[in-house]
Amino acid sequence: MDKILLMLQLQSELNDATNGEDWTKGITKAGKTINWKRCIYMECAEMVDSFSWKHWKNIAKEPDWDNHQIEVIDVWHFIMSLAIESYSKDLKGGVEDLGIDIAGLQAFSIIDVQSKKFDSQDNVIAKVENLIRMSLSVDSFDIEKMISEFFDLTVMSGLDLESLYRLYVGKNILNQFRQDNGYKDGSYIKVWAGEEDNVVMKRIWEDNANIKPDALYKELSKFYLALNKS
C-alpha cells in the first residue's frame, strides 16, 4: 500500500509540474488536450516492439526484456495518471482513496510477491494487446479492471511490487531530469554515448541498490554533464 501511494503521489506531482495543476480536467496549462488512453495504447505498441514478432525478420531473436520492462514502467505512468484523473472527474476521491482501492484489488496480491520469471512472448503480447483494446474502448471503461490487467502484465514481465516501485521511481526522476534539461523544447539529448538514458538510469539503480532518488538525480547530472563536455 505504501509503495502504491508513493508512486501515485509522485505521478501527481510530476503531472502538476509538467502540465499544470488543472491536468485532472484533461487539459494542460498551455490549453492542450490530454489523452491518457492514447498515451497508453501508443506506449503499449512500443512495448510490442521489444519482441521479435515480425515473421519476415529474425523471429528467433530473444526478447529485449530490459527494454520491455522500461516500457511497462512508461505505461504505468499513464495508467496512474488516467486513474487519478478518473477519480477526480467521478468525484471518487484523491490519490489516497485511489491507493486504498488499488491495494484492495485481488490482482494487487499477485505483485506483492517477489518474482523474476518471464512469461512466454506470445502470452505477454496478448496481455499487452488486451490493454490496448481496453484503452481504445469508447463504450465502457473500468479503470480498476485496467489496473488489474496491468498487474498481470507486471508479473508476466518478471517484475513485482518492489521492482515496479524501484523502476518507477527511477523513471520518475529521469523524467524530472529530462524536463529540467530541455525535453520540451527539443534540446535534450536522449542517447548518451550510444545508450538511451533509460538504460543508463536502469544500470545506476541496479549497481546501487540503496541509492536515494536525489542521489540518482545527481548521478544522472554527472553522466549528462560528461556527455556535453565530450
SS (H, E, C) the chain: CHHHHHHHHHHHHHHHHHHCCCHHHCECCCCCECCHHHHHHHHHHHHHCCCCCCCCCCCCCCCCHHHHHHHHHHHHHHHHHHHHHHHHHCCCCCHHHHHHHHHCCCCHHHHCCCCCCECCHHHHHHHHHHHHHHHHCCCCCCHHHHHHHHHHHHHHECCCHHHHHHHHHHHHHHHHHHHHCCCCCCCCCCEECCEEHHHHHHHHHHHCCCCCHHHHHHHHHHHHHHHHHC
pLDDT of residue 229: 66
User: Using CA atoms, how far apart are residues 25 and 229, in angstroms rounded to an integer?
Assistant: 42
State the helix-helix crossing angle for 143-156 and 65-89, rounded to 10 degrees: 160
User: Using CA atoms, how far apart are residues 177 and 79, in angstroms rounded to an integer?
Assistant: 21
pLDDT of residue 11: 92
Where exactly are the structural domains of the chain? Answer: 2-164
User: Using CA atoms, how far apart are residues 140 and 200, in angstroms rounded to an integer?
Assistant: 39
CB 89 within 8 A of CB 98: no
The C-alpha cell that represents 225 in the structure block: 554533464
Q: 192-205: per-residue pLDDT in tens?
A: 888 889 888 888 88
Q: Which fold has domain 2-164?
A: all-alpha NTP pyrophosphatase fold (1.10.4010)
User: Using CA atoms, how far apart are residues 230 and 226, in angstroms rounded to an integer?
Assistant: 6
User: Using CA atoms, how far apart are residues 81 and 186, in angstroms rounded to an integer?
Assistant: 23
pLDDT of residue 230: 57
pTM attached to this predicted model: 0.86
Contacts of 211 (CB under 8 A, 6+ apart): 204, 205, 219
Q: Half-sphere exposure (CA, 13 Å, Cβ side) for 1?
A: 8
pLDDT of residue 25: 92
CB 129 within 8 A of CB 89: no
Residue 167 burial by Cβ neighbours in a 10 Å radius (0-12, 13-18, 19+): buried
Instruction: Collect the ranges in the chain with pLDDT lower than 50.
Output: none
